[in-house]
Amino acid sequence: MILKFNEIDVLVYNLIKDKKKIVLNDVISLLDKDSDSIRRSIEFLKDENVILEETSEINTYDLTDIGKKTLDKGFIEDVFCDFIKDKEVLLSSLKTLKINLLNDSEISLAFGISKRFNLVTINEGKIIVNKNYKDIISINKQKLKDISLNNLNNIDQNTINDFLQRKMILKKSIINKSYSFLKEVNFSLEKDKIINLTSEILKSNNLDKIDFKEYEVSKLPKPSEIGRVHPLRKIMWYIRDLYLEMGFKEMTGPYVDTSFWPMDSMYISQDHPMRDIQDTFYLPLKGKLVKNKSFLRKIKEVHETGGKTGSLGHQYTWNEELSKNLVLRTHTTSVTFRTFYNLSKEDKKNSKYFCIGKVFRNESIDATHLAEFYQAEGFVIGKNIGLSDLIGFIKEFLGKLGLSKIKIKPTYNPYTEPSIEVFAFSEKTNTWREVMNSGIFRKETLEPYGIKSNVIAWGIGIERIGMLLLEKKNIKEVFGDDCDIDFLRNYIIPKRKFE
């Protein structure tokens, strides 16, 4: 077979034949022709199996403003250790500690980093600075400097990941394309053939006199790589369909909320550990509470004395101003309590609602945890429902998702009693994975809303359900930039049971 080449095709063919292997940028620079025409010729030669394309990814890193500031003024953990090294600082006083060069969130962050790199230890409740802390920080500073110069020879991936997480560096990926010569072919040269139909040619009215390059139209094009719905999104649709089939009503709420709804309204005390900066994303702003003073007074009473529930409460003075702090919601239960506030008298006796939404936790990312993830929240209000009804619902619901092998154990939640955790078995990894937290809302949580009936409630981790249904060992294989693109194009979700 004789191939028909234009002049650019011949140049590209001869160059790659001569070099045996060459990168795209060198092809463009050596030929000094229009880059689009060169790329078109390369695609033509690839389709004819004359050359082979190989791609490689090279990662480079640039310093962010935070990284530049760190190199210039020092690491925050260095400032932290310098300040406390000659002082007796108690772990319990960390929240009230003031350091001139650091704000409150930076102090908390610096302490966490210092612990991770063994710059400090905790002894009898005191924070003790280790003698070699300067040496460790000096090594990290040199590593950051090397990365800024793209000198990555002695930099391990854990160091890079740490600087990326601390937003000191920004990753840039460069895709290099190279071409290898595969075989010689017979070709004929077509000179003065027009390839592109331009507006000037159309205006000239000489179309019948112009010699256009012929195109092979009998070949089938390459299959197009079209987008596809993410598997997690499909699982969310499945779960939503299940809720609706079971007669639940859907509820929604905001991502950014006052800490009142995900914490205070739920009877979570204002000194509870989950309010710490290490666990919750705070915004440097205040929000507004509801204008219903009677309702706020009831919230205050159950926190301080237990109100009319027979409980002693938390035995402290509730601070309304603290409840105005804006946060990224830590769980969709905030939506449940917003819904409680707006329920009709009838719905407060008997109703069932669900919510599917994103939540945010300031925690380390590992095989089973993400900083942002999805929950499928739900509750049922009824006069005579209890723990057996909750367990029955859990078995029925997870069974419809194809998760029939489950186990249940007691746990603690500050707003439910009793509380249970639910684990489902993974055949792939031969392990049990926690997929659900649930319980019966305490009277202290329901008193301010005027709800006298029992309320069973639960929260489902959708990513963990996804890990089980898609048979993945790591949560980042299901959601995030570690997902395999071929998996996302070809995944299969088991058919759920409708009976």
Q: What is the CATH number of domain 2-60+175-209?
A: 1.10.10.10
Q: And the tokens for 178?
A: 């190279």
For domain 65-167, the CATH class is: mainly alpha
Distance, CA of 90 to CA of 43 (rounded, Å): 67
Shared fold status for 2-60+175-209 and 232-490: no
Cis peptide before 273 (omega within 30 of 0): no
Per-residue pLDDT of the chain (499 residues; tens, 9 = 90+): 788 888 888 999 999 999 999 999 899 999 988 888 899 899 989 988 999 999 988 888 999 999 999 999 899 999 999 999 888 888 888 888 899 888 888 888 899 899 988 999 988 888 999 999 999 999 999 999 999 888 888 888 888 888 998 889 998 888 889 999 999 999 888 776 776 778 888 888 777 777 777 776 777 777 777 788 888 899 999 999 999 999 999 999 999 999 999 999 989 888 877 676 557 788 888 889 999 999 999 999 999 998 888 889 898 899 988 889 898 888 899 999 999 999 999 999 999 999 999 988 876 666 556 777 889 999 999 988 999 999 999 999 998 888 888 999 999 988 999 999 999 987 777 888 889 999 999 999 999 999 999 999 999 999 888 888 888 877 778 877 777 888 888 887 766 554 4
DSSP 214: P
At the top level of CATH, which class does the domain 232-490 belong to? Answer: alpha beta
Distance CA(57)–CA(346), nearest Å, equals: 61
Domain borders along the chain are: 2-60+175-209, 65-167, 232-490
SS3 labels along 19-69: HCEEEHHHHHHHHCCCHHHHHHHHHHHHHCCCEEEEEEEEEEEEECHHHHH
Count Cβ neighbours within 10 Å for each residue of 229-250 and write b for 16 or more, e otherwise. Answer: eebbeebbebbeebbeeeebee
